[in-house]
Structure 1
Amino acid sequence: MALYESEHTKFMREWMANHPQEKKEQQAGRALWWDKPQDTDARARNSEASVPSKPYYYQTD
């Protein structure tokens, strides 16, 4: 297996090593957009309420 590391990855590793405060900002951004509590009941209701689409969308039968 080759041990290739892209220029971007090298840059990001160096940047994070030189700017340790960015880790907290990165975690805050992730929590803002991605890390949300999941409501399993609402997800189940939404999946049960979905109507399957027709194979041909414009068919009027």
Structure 2
Amino acid sequence: MYLFRRPDYRSDATEFINALKKQNPELEAQQRHGRSLLWDREQDPEIRAQYEAGRVAQKPYVYGTNAD
């Protein structure tokens, strides 16, 4: 136990978000649903394999000039 411990700092943004979540309890579920629409998707292995096959190796020094 600390004798001179200060209270934990909470920024105005954190306080605002906490108050918003308290006013609207289903907000986090709505955020997760919105995320699932865009990001949480099954990946197609065939498309992923095509993407990996089409990669081009990077040159060792990318900022150099083409002295070919």
In the TM superposition, 1:1-61 aligns within 5 A as 3-54=8-59, 55-56=62-63, 59=66, 61=68
Unaligned runs of 5+ in 1: none
With normalisation by structure 2, the TM-score equals 0.59
Larger relative CO (CA 8 A, sep 6+): 1 or 2? 1
CA RMSD, 1 decimal: 2.6
Identical-residue share of aligned pairs (%): 32
**Greater CA radius of gyration, 1 or 2?**
2
Runs of 4+ in structure 1 deviating by more than 6 angstroms, as ranges, are none
Per the normalisation by structure 1, the TM-score is 0.63
Query: Once structures 1 and 2 are overlaid, which stretch shifts more, 11-20 or 44-53?
Result: 44-53
- Inter-partner Cα distance in structure 2 for 1:5 and 1:44: 46
